[in-house]
Amino acid sequence: MHQQLVKKHDGYKWQVIAFINDPKLMVVWDVLLAGLLLNEERNLTAIWVLGTLGFADASGIVMKKLIRRRRPIMHSDMENGYSFPSGHVLGATTMGLILLQLFAKEFGLIFIIGIVALWVMVIISRLSLKAHYPSDIVGATSLAIVCFSISQQLFLAF
């Protein structure tokens, strides 16, 4: 199934999508968003944004070290580390959920479609670049939703 999903889809555009959504760069986007929120004097929300991605990333790192799943055989030499869960999809899903929570009402349907489209492109890029199995994507998405939900409940408690 994995080979059917990635057939004829590798290329530069997927590398760009992967780069923009690299887990380390996602932290930069998260800090920039928190800075924007601090500038608007939304201090607690800024802390929540940082904590949510931090919690998801830390959970993903722990899972990678516990599960230790090897990447697909045909993956790029640029990719290292373990496969499950996908850090790119974990970060993109978490950030997408954060952005939807904060701005969906303000920016509307086009914004929502844009976030979902970017998320789908991240998924396709990870499969097309042969860096992950489909189950790595499902696992990362599920973990992101769980971490986001826990973080959201903690935020609402304050």
- Which positions ≥6 away from 155 have C-beta within 8 Å? 44, 45, 48, 52
* Overall domain count for the chain: 1
* pLDDT tens, position by position, 25-44: 889 999 999 999 999 999 99
- Say what the pLDDT of residue 79 is: 62
Q: What's the domain range around 145?
A: 14-157
The single-letter code of the amino acid at 47 is I
- 1, part of any domain: no
Residue 5 has pLDDT above 50, yes or no: no
- 105, part of any domain: yes
- 9, part of any domain: no
* pLDDT tens, position by position, 32-80: 999 999 999 999 999 999 999 999 999 999 999 999 888 887 655 556 7
Q: Whole-number mean pLDDT of the chain? A: 86
- 97, part of any domain: yes
pLDDT bucket at 125, cuts 50 / 70 / 90: confident
- 92, part of any domain: yes
- 45, part of any domain: yes
- Say what the pLDDT of residue 136 is: 94
- 4, part of any domain: no
Contact 152, 44 (CB under 8 A): no
- 8, part of any domain: no
